[in-house]
Amino acid sequence: MAVWDILLHTAESYSLARRTGYTTIYQKVLAITPGDFIQFAVAMGFSNCPGAPQLQFMLGRPMPVAASLDGLIPEPFDAVDSSIERFADAGNFTPSHIIWLLNAHSVVAADEVDSTIPGTPFDSTPFILTVSSSLRLSSAAHCSQGENQGEVESPIMGELHLQSDSELPRDNRTACEWQSFVNNLERMQTLFPAAMATMAVIGQDTSQMVDCSDVVHILLLRALGFEPNVICPQIPITPPPQGTAHFPAGLGIADVEQACSTAMFPTLPTDPGPATYVAPVPPA
């Protein structure tokens, strides 16, 4: 059975779990807790995107005891001050850590911000983890959306631009950090997984956890009835994108709102052709 077949079955189990109650299904079918499953899915999902570093996966989160309180997770319409405070509360994250983590939004599409257009990407390359910060500095907004709470107009047709992803790159505490990732894949590949490893174990006693980064597939195999001593493939590691960062067709340095006061935005080429349009991603 291929890894992808296993993932497919896991997705089906997940969907079943949502319908019938997490506790029973996670424990009896998946044999891991919801927290471990979510972190496992994150490690697998990100590690399969070209350009992505392999993420650590620690096993051993307990079953949840209660729903999270409202207001702990930053909303896209929150003020920058508030988002910074929430991350600081959660795990001593600095404003820079938030920017490191927000590299994740380079492989994301939104279903709920505007439910009439599910699968709308956050950048022009939703399947590639890119150091794509540049366009979030653009002010050449003309996209027809931008009418929902937490959403602002986007510089690219078909892209959904969050208010938080628009304001953090312009704030003087985070603008230079944001810009520092442009055309610097190595920086992203080092700092993003480091911050993810910290975030993934917030509130956990890591001395009671097991580092399963190299054996994540075994969990799935066991859940599907295979013996866990099967020799499993590693998390697939895809090659990074080649070449330098570039502006999507139709945009360039004139569209960049310079927000970092200590370094100029790098000079980048623009893709040839008509103005970029980003297609929605297929439904999950």
Judged by CB under 6 A, the stretch of 14-22, 104-112, 205-213, 254-262 that binds ligand HEM is 104-112
Contact residue for ligand HEM among 102, 135, 182, 219 (CB under 6 A) = 102
Q: Is 142 annotated as a binding residue?
A: no
The token duo for 164 is 């938080």
The token duo for 238 is 């895809």
Judged by CB under 6 A, the stretch of 107-115, 132-140, 211-219, 265-273 that binds ligand HEM is 107-115
Q: Which of residues 161-200 bind ligand HEM (CB under 6 A)?
A: 162, 164
Question: Does 113 engage in binding with ligand HEM (CB under 6 A)?
Answer: yes
Helix (H, G, I), strand (E, B) or coil at 153: coil
x/- track of binding to ligand HEM for residues 123-162 (CB under 6 A): ---------------------------x-----------x
The DSSP secondary structure of 164-176, one letter per residue, reads HHHHGGGSTTTHH
**Strand ranges (E), 72-137:** 109-110, 120-121
Among 145, 143, 159, which Cα is nearest to 116's?
A: 145
β-bridge mates for residue 242, sequence order:
none
Q: How far is the CB of 154 from ligand HEM (least distance, A)?
A: 14
Q: Which is nearer to ligand HEM, 191 or 232 (CB)?
A: 191
Query: What residues make contact with Ca ion under the rule CB under 5 A?
Result: 106, 123, 125, 128, 130, 132
- Axis crossing angle, helix 3-20 with helix 216-223, rounded to the nearest 10: 60
Neighbour count for residue 88 (Cβ, 10 Å): 14
